[in-house]
Protein backbone atom coordinates (compact mmCIF):
# COMPACT_ATOMS: atom_id res chain seq x y z
CA UNK A 1 0.00 0.00 0.00
CA UNK A 2 1.29 3.44 -0.92
CA UNK A 3 1.59 5.69 2.11
CA UNK A 4 2.89 8.83 0.43
CA UNK A 5 -0.52 10.51 0.41
CA UNK A 6 -0.82 9.93 4.16
CA UNK A 7 2.67 11.31 4.64
CA UNK A 8 1.77 14.49 2.74
CA UNK A 9 -1.41 14.84 4.76
CA UNK A 10 0.52 14.45 8.02
CA UNK A 11 3.12 16.98 6.87
CA UNK A 12 0.36 19.53 6.20
CA UNK A 13 -1.36 18.71 9.48
CA UNK A 14 1.92 19.05 11.38
CA UNK A 15 2.67 22.44 9.85
CA UNK A 16 -0.83 23.74 10.51
CA UNK A 17 -0.81 22.36 14.07
CA UNK A 18 2.56 23.83 14.99
CA UNK A 19 1.61 27.18 13.44
CA UNK A 20 -1.67 27.19 15.34
CA UNK A 21 0.00 26.39 18.64
CA UNK A 22 2.62 29.09 18.12
CA UNK A 23 -0.07 31.61 17.16
CA UNK A 24 -2.10 30.75 20.27
CA UNK A 25 0.99 31.11 22.47
CA UNK A 26 1.85 34.48 20.94
CA UNK A 27 -1.75 35.61 21.40
CA UNK A 28 -1.74 34.63 25.11
CA UNK A 29 1.57 36.41 25.67
CA UNK A 30 0.31 39.51 23.85
CA UNK A 31 -3.05 39.55 25.64
CA UNK A 32 -1.46 39.39 29.09
CA UNK A 33 1.56 41.54 28.25
CA UNK A 34 1.01 44.24 30.89
CA UNK A 35 0.24 42.00 33.84
CA UNK A 36 2.17 42.53 37.03
CA UNK A 37 3.90 39.63 38.71
CA UNK A 38 1.72 37.73 41.21
CA UNK A 39 -1.48 39.43 40.03
CA UNK A 40 -4.62 37.60 38.95
CA UNK A 41 -3.85 38.27 35.28
CA UNK A 42 -0.37 36.80 35.80
CA UNK A 43 -1.91 33.61 37.18
CA UNK A 44 -4.36 33.52 34.25
CA UNK A 45 -1.50 33.88 31.76
CA UNK A 46 0.45 31.07 33.39
CA UNK A 47 -2.65 28.87 33.47
CA UNK A 48 -3.26 29.40 29.76
CA UNK A 49 0.38 28.73 28.93
CA UNK A 50 0.26 25.48 30.90
CA UNK A 51 -2.88 24.45 29.01
CA UNK A 52 -1.22 25.22 25.68
CA UNK A 53 1.88 23.24 26.67
CA UNK A 54 -0.25 20.22 27.59
CA UNK A 55 -2.15 20.50 24.32
CA UNK A 56 1.10 20.80 22.37
CA UNK A 57 2.52 17.76 24.10
CA UNK A 58 -0.55 15.70 23.24
CA UNK A 59 -0.46 16.95 19.63
CA UNK A 60 3.20 16.00 19.31
CA UNK A 61 2.51 12.55 20.77
CA UNK A 62 -0.29 12.02 18.25
CA UNK A 63 2.07 13.00 15.45
CA UNK A 64 4.69 10.58 16.81
CA UNK A 65 2.16 7.78 16.72
CA UNK A 66 1.04 8.67 13.21
CA UNK A 67 4.53 8.93 11.80
CA UNK A 68 5.61 5.88 13.76
CA UNK A 69 2.93 3.76 12.09
CA UNK A 70 4.16 4.97 8.71
CA UNK A 71 7.79 4.42 9.81
CA UNK A 72 8.84 7.92 8.83
CA UNK A 73 11.90 9.66 10.32
CA UNK A 74 9.75 12.67 11.29
CA UNK A 75 8.58 10.60 14.26
CA UNK A 76 11.89 11.32 16.01
CA UNK A 77 11.47 15.08 15.57
CA UNK A 78 7.99 14.98 17.05
CA UNK A 79 9.14 12.66 19.84
CA UNK A 80 11.82 15.13 20.88
CA UNK A 81 9.31 18.01 20.67
CA UNK A 82 6.80 16.05 22.77
CA UNK A 83 9.46 15.24 25.35
CA UNK A 84 10.59 18.87 25.59
CA UNK A 85 7.08 20.33 25.93
CA UNK A 86 6.04 17.57 28.33
CA UNK A 87 9.00 18.14 30.64
CA UNK A 88 8.47 21.91 30.53
CA UNK A 89 4.81 21.45 31.43
CA UNK A 90 5.63 19.00 34.23
CA UNK A 91 8.29 21.32 35.66
CA UNK A 92 5.86 24.26 35.64
CA UNK A 93 3.13 22.24 37.33
CA UNK A 94 5.45 20.89 40.01
CA UNK A 95 6.95 24.29 40.83
CA UNK A 96 3.55 25.98 40.97
CA UNK A 97 2.33 23.47 43.58
CA UNK A 98 5.25 24.06 45.93
Domain coverage including residue 50: 4-97
23-42 tens-digit pLDDT: 999 999 999 999 999 999 99
Residue 1 has pLDDT above 80, yes or no: no
Given a cut of 90, whether residue 81 has pLDDT beyond it is yes
At 42-68, the pLDDT tens digits run: 999 999 999 999 999 999 999 999 999
Q: Name 88's Cβ contacts closer than 8 Å, sequence gap at least 6.
A: 53
Residue 65 is predicted with a pLDDT of 96
Q: How many domains, in total, are found in the chain?
A: 1
- In this predicted structure, the answer to whether residue 97 has a pLDDT above a threshold of 70 is no
- Give the alpha-carbon dihedral of 69, 21, 19, 15, to 10 degrees: 0
Amino acid sequence: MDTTIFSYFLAALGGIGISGLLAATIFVLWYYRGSRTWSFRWYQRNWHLKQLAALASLFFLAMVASYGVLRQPWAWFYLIAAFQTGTWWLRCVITSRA
